[in-house]
A and B are shown apart, each in its own frame.
Chain A
Amino acid sequence: MSKAYEMVIGLEVHVELATKTKIFCSCSTEFGGTPNAHTCPVCTGMPGSLPVLNKKVVEYAVAVGLATNCAITQNCKFDRKNYFYPDNPQNYQISQLYLPICRNGGVEIETAAGKKTIGIHEIHMEEDAGKLIHDEWEDCSIVDFNRSGVPLIEIVSEPDMRSADEVIAYLEKLRMLIQYLGASDCKLNEGSMRADVNLSIREAGNIELGTRTEMKNLNSFKAIARAIENERERQIELIESGEKVIQETRRWDDVKEYSYAMRSKEDAQDYRYFPEPDLVPIIISDEWIKEIKAEEPEFQTQKQARYIEKFELPEYDAKIITGHKKLADIFESTNEICKNPKKVSNWLMVETMRILKENAMEPDDIKFSPVNLASLIDLTESGKINSTVAKEVFEKIFFEDIDPVKYVEEKGLATVNDEGALRETVSKIMEENPQSIEDYHNGKEKAIGFLVGQTMKAMKGKANPGMVNEILKELLNK
């Protein structure tokens, strides 16, 4: 590449709100369920039905707006977006165009390139559509309206991002804020957080924006990073070969690591937006905003400071743990039981992180109960099991959420503290390894490690390592 190029990226992030009921009716938002079990005349668009706004949706949207430094539109309203598709039972979606609930905000992100603010253009509320299932066998399509009417907010950023790193940092920041607020679980793989990437390329130093494309179907941070890199290369190739980038919507195929055009701007639909006549304007008073603000949880920075101050965690540990609401929640619940912040932090920072990494899992995937981790810590602290056994038990807790007390008992994993038994084994190991004894006496301190290892092995890892050490030294120095 002869020239230097710069990417300009803006994001449209859809977040499914964690309300119990849908945005315009009282049907459950529960995931799964028999198709069309969670439906009523309203969310199936039956003639004559009317929407009634769920107040909680407004509260969540305002809370997210406040957390992202937006101005709240205190007199906002809904509009209809008209388009025909069978997953959309009314053939219009109730959304917001003219007066979105939040505007002009921004969040600070940090990447290797430093700190930066990403602007938020607006946040608006809307309803989700149903799900179409194409039945190849019967050669027909069927529709499930269980998701129809599930509340969403769409967070539209300014085109402020310049790299995949910034995009990921921005999404992580949004996810963290929203999870802290409890407004959504923000799972990309389950679709409760969806990001569409608007990307264009320009020569470095240019002020004018290039033609952008919109990338859809991005189901993980890794897919987002790959799609961005791929689209950057595709656009640069077009520009370099003298062709034009077409303004279009593209769909990312993460398996093939390739995107294809879904629809171009030319056949873009005219959505014929107009104010939704079935809903009245939403008046958000100063008092209501104050109430929502007052309910704000402790956010990451405050939590981090508290962990350092109160629990005396190292800054690095406190930052990692508070960086994920799920980790912070586990930390606090576990510590609540066992009152040993340092140990809890260790288990999260070392073993938990290792398992997550090895299994390509996210902290949100953690399923174990804090009470079991607390029990495990008690077992190790009281010397009932040694650290090797503890690690093994923790894996069981992590994947199967077992009760460690019972497990240790059933499997006979308790540390052997019986001095007689230990002496017997140590003596036997010494007899079998005369060379090591000689090495030790010749000044090779390491030999003692080998003998400890052999003893532990002979005792299936259950020996109290401190006692084994003492007994060994005593016998060797006789």
Chain B
Amino acid sequence: MSLMSLTALELGRKIKAKEVTVEQAVLEAFEAIEESEEKLNSFVTLNKKAALKRAKEVQKAIEEGTLKGPLAGVPVAVKDNMCTKDLLTTCSSKILYNFLPTYTAQAVMNLEEAGAIVIGKTNMDEFAMGSTTETSAFGATKNPWNEAHVPGGSSGGSCAAVAAEECSFALGSDTGGSIRQPSSFCGVTGIKPTYGTVSRYGLIAYGSSLDQIGPVAKDVSDCAAILEVIASYDEKDSTSVKREDYDFTSALIDDVKGMKIGIPRDYFGEGLEEEVKEAVLKAAEELRKKGAIVEEFDLSLVEYAIPAYYVIACAEASSNLARFDGVKYGYRTKEYDGLHNMYKKSRSEGFGEEVKRRIMLGSFVLSSGYYDAYYIKALRTKALIKKAFDKAFASYDIILGPAAPTTAPKLGESLSDPIKMYLGDIYTIAVNLAGLPGISLPCGFDKKGLPIGLQLIGDCFQEKKMIQAAYTYEKTREGKHSPFSKQADTTLGQKGESRS
């Protein structure tokens, strides 16, 4: 059994107990990658040489007792939109194909300081724009459960790498569901923290007011432990929040007695696959059995979340992505006639279709004459959505629903119909608009053997309640969560939830 089939915390404990070395763990990660990469394409860039060098340093620090954290020596894969010093950071875009950052993102720094070993950069939708990881300039990532299907997106590479046991855990980023939806499609667990919890310094921005970095891992305990490490108040990020409660692992409690869980009726309407609905409601029932008070309610405004999101995210993106112009770094067209032509050709050739679509959309909604009608209206909608959630959280501790309306679609199905793809984000994006924390964790499989994700949403800064509810639910499915190891397969087979 590969060390990569262990959870990050299990591996960390083994390393500390000197049962395995950091180097062994890193080597096994690269063995797993070698085995799966050709099929999956989870990674854009591998960091083998530096990782092995770092493994020795970390091993020494662990032995000397200077590195004591639970993630010391554990291999991590980082989404390719987080800057890593001297390691290619491409955002899966041709325009940054050769970009070597001069500094490392704060969240990654926090992990490195805790002794985690960055083994590579994972594939994603170009600039995190997409829900399938198919818009990557470096080819689509495949879903480890069924390679004919997408892993979801935009953190598809990170989720696939965790599901396929190519790493112990990964970092993703979530602007409109980019951690939770692919976690759901890949049968792994991912958290989108409250806006401001994890520093965005070094995260190449898509929609600055919505972006958050979060953990992708094999279970809730790992996610809580990783979040504890990556979350920090950062003076370099003005939107970073100084929190009192970074002890997320203290919420790993198997108990929901008296916890009030609201199920928004709006999340179970048209477009939701029956199998997904059943699995999610079954999960709610499990939590009720464990003592939670589960009620249905009307959240309202959900239908407005998608247009508001696309206006705000694209507006910010149109400005955030302006710096990729061929002047300072990245791709520059070969032949050009003057500055203006150089800009135009470099950007036309360097960006993919979906990115160009969103830049144009964003430029349009910000242009004079349209600003009030689109951008301002979207901001008002955002405020109303936040209000609707505030009202809900006055009555409930947690909101429960699906992470996505379907399981993973087949490759090629989504891009032909962008509107349909955008609608697939319906359950996740309101959470970003309201700045709330959300977690996606496995709650079953459909008949095709594809994972289904349960989404739990907490109030702002209430990650702990959310983690506690998720952990309690996870306990009811003991043995079913680990996606790929043969051990899990057997368990799954026994319970009648087999992979195709």
Contact = CB atoms under 8 A, between A and B. Distances in A.
Interface stretch (B71-79, B138-146, B287-295, B362-370): B362-370
B375 interface: yes
Contacts of B339: 86
A48 interface: yes
Contacts of A279: 238
Interface in A255-309: 270, 272-274, 277-280
Contacts, number: 92
Given A41-B102, A84-B343, A272 B319 contact: yes
A417 interface: no
Interface stretch (A50-58, A316-324, A348-356): A50-58
Interface string B294-323: 000000000000000000000110110011
A272 B366 contact: yes
Given A274-B315, A277-B209, A47 B101 contact: yes
B89 interface: yes
Interface stretch (A63-71, A89-97, A168-176, A401-409): A89-97
B94 interface: no
A37 interface: no
B202 interface: yes
A82 interface: yes
A273 B372 CA distance: 11
B97 interface: no
A274 B201 contact: no
Contacts of B236: 50, 52
B325 interface: yes
B105 interface: yes
Nearest to B367: A270
Residue among A47, A84, A270 with the most chain B CB within 10 A?
A47
A46 B102 contact: yes
B146 to A, nearest CB: 34
B471 to A, nearest CB: 32
Nearest to A24: B238
A44 B366 CA distance: 25
B486 to A, nearest CB: 40
Contacts of A90: 322-323
Q: Is the interface of B mostly helix, strand, loop or mixed?
A: loop
A272 B363 contact: yes
Nearest to A92: B319
A45 interface: yes
A279 B239 CA distance: 7
Given A272-B366, A274-B371, A50 B200 contact: yes
A271 to B, nearest CB: 8
Contacts of A41: 102-103
Contacts of B343: 84
B238 A52 contact: yes
Nearest to B328: A89
A259 to B, nearest CB: 24
B207 to A, nearest CB: 8
Contacts of A278: 205, 208, 238-239
Nearest to A47: B204
A49 interface: yes
A103 interface: no
A77 to B, nearest CB: 11
A211 B24 CA distance: 76
A124 interface: no
Contact of B237 (A50, A86, A274): A50
Interface in B83-107: 83, 89, 91, 96, 99, 101-103, 105
A80 interface: yes
Interface in B162-217: 200-205, 207-209
B35 interface: no
A325 to B, nearest CB: 34
B337 to A, nearest CB: 14
A418 to B, nearest CB: 72
A110 B367 CA distance: 43
Interface in B336-386: 339, 343, 363, 366-368, 371, 375
Given A52-B236, A272-B366, A82 B322 contact: yes
Interface residues of B, number: 42
Contacts of B31: none
Nearest to B207: A277
A45 to B, nearest CB: 5
A144 B99 CA distance: 20
Residue among A46, A53, A86, A270 with the most chain B CB within 10 A?
A46
Contacts of B325: 84, 86, 91
Nearest to B82: A48
Nearest to B312: A277
A52 B235 contact: yes
B323 A51 contact: no
B20 interface: no
Contact of A48 (B203, B238, B239, B363): B203
A90 B329 CA distance: 12
Interface string B274-285: 000000000000
B327 interface: yes
Nearest to A274: B366
A277 B208 contact: yes
Contacts of B239: 277-278, 280
A52 B200 CA distance: 12
A48 B108 CA distance: 13
A159 to B, nearest CB: 22
A51 B207 CA distance: 15
A327 B96 CA distance: 55
B351 to A, nearest CB: 14
B367 to A, nearest CB: 5
Nearest to B326: A86
Contacts of B89: 47
Given A86-B339, A89-B328, A272-B366, A48 B205 contact: yes
Contacts of A51: 238
B368 A270 contact: yes
Nearest to A44: B328
A45 B363 CA distance: 20
Interface in A76-114: 80, 82, 84, 86, 89-92
A89 B366 contact: no
Contacts of A91: 322-323, 325
A50 B318 CA distance: 17
Contacts of B202: 48-49
B131 to A, nearest CB: 22
A70 to B, nearest CB: 25
A45 B319 CA distance: 12
A48 B366 contact: no
Contacts of A89: 323, 328
Nearest to B205: A48
B447 to A, nearest CB: 42
Nearest to A141: B339
Interface string A16-58: 0000000000000000000000000100111111111100000
A48 B201 contact: yes
30 contacts: A41-B103, A44-B328, A47-B96, A47-B204, A47-B205, A47-B324, A48-B83, A48-B200, A48-B201, A48-B204, A48-B205, A50-B200, A50-B238, A52-B237, A52-B238, A82-B319, A84-B343, A86-B325, A92-B319, A143-B327, A272-B363, A272-B367, A273-B366, A273-B371, A274-B319, A274-B366, A274-B371, A277-B209, A277-B239, A279-B238
Interface of B: 82-83, 89, 91, 96, 99, 101-103, 105, 200-205, 207-209, 235-239, 315-316, 318-319, 322-325, 327-328, 339, 343, 363, 366-368, 371, 375
Interface of A: 41, 44-53, 80, 82, 84, 86, 89-92, 143, 270, 272-274, 277-280
Q: Which 8 pairs, one residue from A and one from B, show the smallest C-beta to C-beta distance?
A: A91-B322, A272-B366, A277-B208, A277-B209, A48-B202, A47-B204, A48-B83, A48-B204
Given A82-B322, A84-B325, A270-B368, 10 more contacts: A41-B103, A47-B96, A48-B203, A50-B200, A80-B319, A82-B318, A92-B319, A272-B363, A274-B371, A278-B205
